[in-house]
Each structure stands twice: as structure tokens, then as C-alpha cells.
């Protein structure tokens, strides 16, 4: 084999490494000197989602809703999307719902006549999609509902979304607990957790892969790292989920703390179930990655209190300007113009009924000064109701929607979509999918003024029945951050849950490669 042949093989290998698909095409030698072509955005071919164990309470019921939007460029025929139960090796772990930590009591979940879906805990796949653009749903009423591990590929992968919504009627953790199932990763920040005596916070770690994952858990309070009382390294077996009660990791009690979850080996899904003994509870999703500017979208207009928790993970302190973006403009909350966050410490402030009867979003930006701004992570604990009728939800700092984001499990009543444009004005399109029981999609376009929040009842599908999905597409203008509140009041308690809507990453940039004959030169 001569050197020219070896050079040709090397050139083809280099092209394949760069683009994932190597293609040699004809062209003039001048093409090699042309500027690189813009990358083409193509739909992703595979997505993985992880749903935590919902609850083991005997008075709980969970609705699962899965959806993939129709996406231009996706394969029109091939693909599947389904979830399978994960194993739970921690059978003796007490669940915040008051049950037995996920032991299966032998009851089968109900399907409710929804298209022959098999309920979680069975042997068959859960929520298999039949076509993009139409959600599927199923219900589970047993205390043994497991965590779920799901994969979508082909036409079902771009924008695949699964929502898990649990109602607990009584006891510790009573209320509405909702979470969007998340993609696996290796690094998560959870500001807003607690090791206080009136809270039970569990972090649920789910491993989707066939090898064990080694995970580190570190807690930070208002004075820095909370001293560990046990080994903070956790082994999550393959295709399994492990719940960990945070108060068992330290003897120190902190009303507001920050949890850092990192995977030494493998990848995991992580979510925190936070339960207050008096004020209900909800899932606390991970904050967006540390950033110098933060948006927390969707504070309800009737919020009776809001507690902001911020952590500075770097080596420098952070000085932040606090603003509330309301329906008409952005204002500074009285008495909370700024916030100083020390490096490696958790700062928390009570904002009270900060919205004053109007919906809003919290914006954190650098206070100013000559030095570089310090990235932070943040979350907001929101309470509705008073006295024994309080209910709690959490809103983490949320990344902007670059192209589109979806919230599944919307109801004909009780859904509120919040959109905030922190800086420049923007235009978005909001589309309601068909319902799980039929109907056709409906879209509306909205203008967002910079520095304001628009809270609206999302459009509903025409003649639709059952839960439906709402997709937000940013059409033009500045960054847009979004969240969806689902409110289902019961027995005088204003039960609600809030899900943030980060970009669904349904497309990926694929660079184009041209022929470069100089690679074939034989030296």
C-alpha cells in the first residue's frame, strides 16, 4: 500500500471524525479556500428520559403523559418511544409519602381505557407513542409505582417530553407533585433543598445504563459546606434508582441549603422531592447551569410568599441586582434591591407576597463594578394559600428557549403558561397539541415586551379530550424563559405544581464538510 493510498484513508477518517458522515464530492480546487459553510440543524436521532419514583403513599395517584411534537426533517416512518420500570435496590428506604420505599404491593395500575397503555410496574413498555403530535397518557394508583427509564429514537426523539403528575390526598406531602422527566447528565445543582426537621427532602438518583454509576453528594448551607456524617459517595446499580434522604448525610440542620450532585463514573438522572410537614411539597428540579444572569419564570399572581435561594459555586463572591418582571415593567422589590452571596455559601431571602396580585418572574443580574461577574445557581420556593391550607412548589433558574420547549399534561382548567423576556422584546408561537382523546392542534402568536412577564391560559386543542401538550417556539427577538403552572385545588387546598420549560434540544448542529485535495498530497 503506497503513501498516497494511506493519505486518502487518513483524509476520509478525518472527515468522518469531524462530521459524523464523510462524503467526498466533486468540485473545483477553489472550494478548499472558501469559508466554511454554516452548520445545518437536523433533528436528533435518540433521546433518553428518566422519571423518578412518584410516591409510595397509599393515597396517591399518578398521571403520566408522553408527547413528541411533529418536527420538520424528522423521519416520517421509523422510530419508537417508550419507558420501562427501573429497579429499586433500596427497598428499606422510607419514602416521603409515608409508604414502604417503593415495595410493590402486587396491585396493578389502572389504564383508564386510554388506548391499551400498560401501567407502570407491569412487564410491558409504558407510554409507547404511535405518532408524533398526539400525546398518550396512563394512570397509576398503586403504592408501588417505580421509577421509569425511557428511550425514543427516529421520528419520536426530537422534543420527546414526559410529564409525571402525582396527587397525594392526605398525610405528609399531601398536594400536587409534578415533574418533567429529565435527560441523564453528570452534574446537577439543587439550591433550595433543606435538612430542617420540618422537611423531608429525598434526592432520587436513576442510572439508565448497564454499568454502575458512582455519585457524590455535597451539601452547602449559609456558612459553607455542611459537615458530612456519612459517606456521601453513592453507588447506583445499572438500570436502577436510589433515593437518599438528605438529612441523613449531615447532622447539621439548615432551612435552606444547596445540593451538588456529581457523577464520578457513568451518568444519572437526579431530582429532589421536597416535602414540608405543614405546607405540602413538590419536586425541585435542578437549576440551570451556573450563570451570571438568572431568570426564574412564573411566580403565580396569588403567591402568598416566595423564598429565594442562591448559591455561588465559584471562588468569588457574587453581588446581584434583584428585579421582578411584571406584566408591564421590571421593578425592584422593596427592601431587596440587591443580594450578596459569599463563595461556597447559600444565601436565602424571604420576599413575602412579592407579586402583589400580579404574575411575575424574578431576574438576577450582576450588581455592577469593574471585576468580572460571578456565576450563580438559584431557585425559588413559592407558597399559595394560608395556614393549614398552604401548598408549595419550586421554580429553578431556567435556561432560555433557543428554539422550542414543551410541557405535557395540560388540562382544560388550571394550566397557566408564563413567558418572560428579560431584555429585548420577543415573539413566540404557542401550540396546543391534539388531546390524548382526540382533537386537532391550535396555535397562537404572542408579542413579549422586554423586561416583562406574560401569564396566559394556553390555547386548547379544537374538540380535544384528555391531557394535551403545549409547545412554545421562539420566533424572533431576545431570549425567552418559560414555565407552566398546573393548579388542581381540592378540599380548600390550592394544590399546584410548576414546571420550567428549558429548550428541548430537539435539533443538533451538523457541520458541512467540503473536499480538501491538499490532504491527499504525497510528501
pLDDT tens digits along 343-395: 999 999 999 999 999 999 999 999 976 668 999 999 999 999 988 889 999 99
Does the pLDDT of residue 234 top 80, yes or no?
yes
Please state the domain extents for the chain: 60-284, 294-484
Tell me the average pLDDT across 400-405: 96
Tell me the average pLDDT across 205-232: 95
Among candidates 288, 292, 276, 486, which has minimal Cα distance to 381?
A: 276
pLDDT value for 512: 67
Tell me the average pLDDT across 25-38: 44
Homologous superfamily assigned to 60-284 = TM1070-like (2.60.290.11)
Q: Which residues contact 245 (CB under 8 A, 6 or more apart)?
A: 93, 94, 200, 201, 202
Tell me the average pLDDT across 117-140: 80
Does the pLDDT of residue 235 top 80, yes or no?
yes
Name the burial class of residue 287, with classes exposed (0-12), middle (13-18) and buried (19+) by CB atoms within 10 angstroms of its CB: buried
pLDDT value for 123: 63
pLDDT value for 520: 55
Tell me the average pLDDT across 65-88: 86
Distances (CA, A) of 323 to 109, 293, 364, 396, 453: 46, 11, 7, 16, 12
Residue 364's beta-bridge partner residues?
294, 322
Among candidates 444, 470, 409, 451, which has minimal Cα distance to 321?
A: 451
pLDDT in tens, 490-518: 778 899 999 999 999 998 888 766 665 55
Amino acid at each position: 500500500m503506497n503513501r498516497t493510498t494511506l493519505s486518502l484513508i487518513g483524509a476520509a477518517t478525518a472527515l468522518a471524525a469531524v462530521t459524523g458522515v464523510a462524503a467526498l464530492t466533486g468540485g473545483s480546487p477553489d472550494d478548499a479556500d472558501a469559508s466554511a459553510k454554516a452548520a445545518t440543524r437536523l433533528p436528533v436521532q435518540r433521546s433518553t428520559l428518566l422519571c423518578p419514583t412518584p410516591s409510595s403513599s397509599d393515597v396517591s395517584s399518578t398521571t403520566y403523559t408522553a408527547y413528541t411534537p411533529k418536527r420538520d426533517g424528522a423521519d416520517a416512518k421509523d422510530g419508537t418511544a417508550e419507558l420501562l420500570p427501573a429497579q429499586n435496590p433500596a427497598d428499606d428506604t422510607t419514602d416521603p409519602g409515608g409508604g414502604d420505599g417503593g415495595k410493590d404491593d402486587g396491585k396493578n395500575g389502572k389504564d383508564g381505557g386510554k388506548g391499551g397503555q400498560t401501567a407502570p410496574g407491569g412487564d410491558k413498555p409504558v407510554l409507547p407513542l404511535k405518532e408524533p403530535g398526539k400525546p398518550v397518557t396512563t394512570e397509576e394508583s398503586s403504592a408501588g409505582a417505580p421509577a421509569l427509564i425511557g428511550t425514543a429514537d427516529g421520528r419520536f426523539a426530537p422534543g420527546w417530553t414526559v410529564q409525571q403528575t402525582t396527587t397525594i390526598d392526605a398525610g405528609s406531602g399531601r398536594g400536587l407533585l409534578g415533574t418533567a422527566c429529565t435527560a441523564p447528565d453528570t452534574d446537577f445543582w439543587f439550591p433550595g433543598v433543606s435538612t430542617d426537621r420540618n422537611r423531608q427532602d429525598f434526592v432520587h438518583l436513576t442510572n439508565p445504563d448497564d454499568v454502575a454509576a458512582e455519585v457524590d453528594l455535597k451539601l452547602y448551607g449559609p456558612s459553607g459546606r455542611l459537615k458530612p456524617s456519612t459517606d456521601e459517595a453513592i453507588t447506583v446499580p445499572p438500570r436502577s434508582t436510589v433515593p437518599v434522604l438528605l438529612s441523613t448525610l449531615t447532622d447539621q440542620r439548615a432551612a435552606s441549603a444547596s445540593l451538588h450532585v456529581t457523577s464520578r463514573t457513568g451518568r444519572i438522572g437526579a431530582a429532589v422531592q421536597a416535602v414540608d410537614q405543614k405546607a405540602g411539597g413538590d419536586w425541585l428540579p435542578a437549576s440551570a447551569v451556573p450563570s451570571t444572569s438568572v431568570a426564574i419564570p412564573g411566580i403565580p399572581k396569588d403567591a402568598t410568599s416566595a423564598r429565594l435561594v442562591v448559591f455561588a459555586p465559584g471562588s468569588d463572591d457574587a453581588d446581584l441586582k434583584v428585579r421582578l418582571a411584571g406584566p408591564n415593567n421590571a421593578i425592584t422589590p422593596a427592601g431587596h434591591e440587591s443580594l450578596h452571596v459569599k463563595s461556597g455559601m447559600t444565601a436565602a431571602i424571604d420576599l413575602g407576597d412579592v407579586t402583589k396580585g400580579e404574575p411575575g418572574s424574578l431576574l438576577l443580574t450582576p450588581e455592577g463594578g469593574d471585576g468580572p461577574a460571578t456565576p450563580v445557581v438559584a431557585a425559588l420556593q413559592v407558597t399559595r394559600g394560608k395556614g393549614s391550607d398552604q401548598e408549595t412548589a419550586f421554580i429553578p433558574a431556567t435556561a432560555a428557549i433557543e428554539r422550542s420547549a414543551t410541557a405535557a399534561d395540560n388540562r382544560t382548567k388550571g394550566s397557566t403558561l408564563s413567558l418572560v423576556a428579560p431584555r429585548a422584546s420577543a415573539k413566540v408561537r404557542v401550540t396546543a397539541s391534539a388531546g390524548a382523546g382526540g382533537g386537532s392542534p391550535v396555535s397562537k402568536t404572542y408579542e413579549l415586551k422586554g423586561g416583562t412577564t406574560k401569564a396566559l391560559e394556553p390555547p386548547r386543542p379544537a374538540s380535544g379530550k384528555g391531557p394535551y401538550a403545549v409547545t412554545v417556539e421562539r420566533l424572533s427577538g431576545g431570549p425567552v424563559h418559560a414555565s407552566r403552572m398546573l393548579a388542581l385545588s381540592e378540599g380548600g387546598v390550592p394544590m399546584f405544581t410548576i414546571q420550567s420549560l428549558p429548550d428541548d434540544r430537539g435539533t443538533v448542529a451538523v457541520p458541512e464538510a467540503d473536499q480538501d485535495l491538499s490532504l491527499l498530497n504525497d510528501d
